[in-house]
Amino acid sequence: TLRHEQAGGGGYGDPLRRPFAAILRDIADGKLTRQRAAADYALVFNPAGGIDESATATLRAARRA
C-alpha cells in the first residue's frame, strides 16, 4: 500500500465567509477535521458536534478586528 499526501492550493475567497454547509460537507467527506475547520475557518462547535453560530460569529468578528 502506498499513501501519498500533498498540500492543496491556497483556496479561493475569505475562509471566514465560507458557508457552514460546505465546511460540514468537507468534514463528513473526510477532507477536513473538526480541529482544522475550527482553526482555518474560525468555527466553534457545540457539544452535539454542530456549529455554534453565535460563538462562531463572535470569534470571526474578533479575527477580523
Count of the separate structural domains present in the chain = 1
Least confident of 1-10, 22-31, 40-49: 1-10
Please check whether residue 20 lies inside any domain of the structure.
Answer: yes
Please check whether residue 10 lies inside any domain of the structure.
Answer: no
Q: Give the span between the Cα atoms of 42 and 37, in whole angstroms.
A: 7
Please check whether residue 58 lies inside any domain of the structure.
Answer: yes
Which residue range(s) make up the domain with 43?
Answer: 15-64
Q: Give the span between the Cα atoms of 8 and 21, in whole angstroms.
A: 20
Please check whether residue 6 lies inside any domain of the structure.
Answer: no
Please check whether residue 1 lies inside any domain of the structure.
Answer: no
Residue 51 has phi, psi (to 5 degrees) of -85, 130
pTM of the predicted structure, to 2 decimals? 0.76
Q: In the predicted model, what is the mean pLDDT of the chain?
A: 91
Q: What is the pLDDT of residue 51?
A: 94
Q: Give the span between the Cα atoms of 14 and 21, in whole angstroms.
A: 16
Please check whether residue 49 lies inside any domain of the structure.
Answer: yes
Please check whether residue 5 lies inside any domain of the structure.
Answer: no
Q: Give the span between the Cα atoms of 27 and 33, in whole angstroms.
A: 6
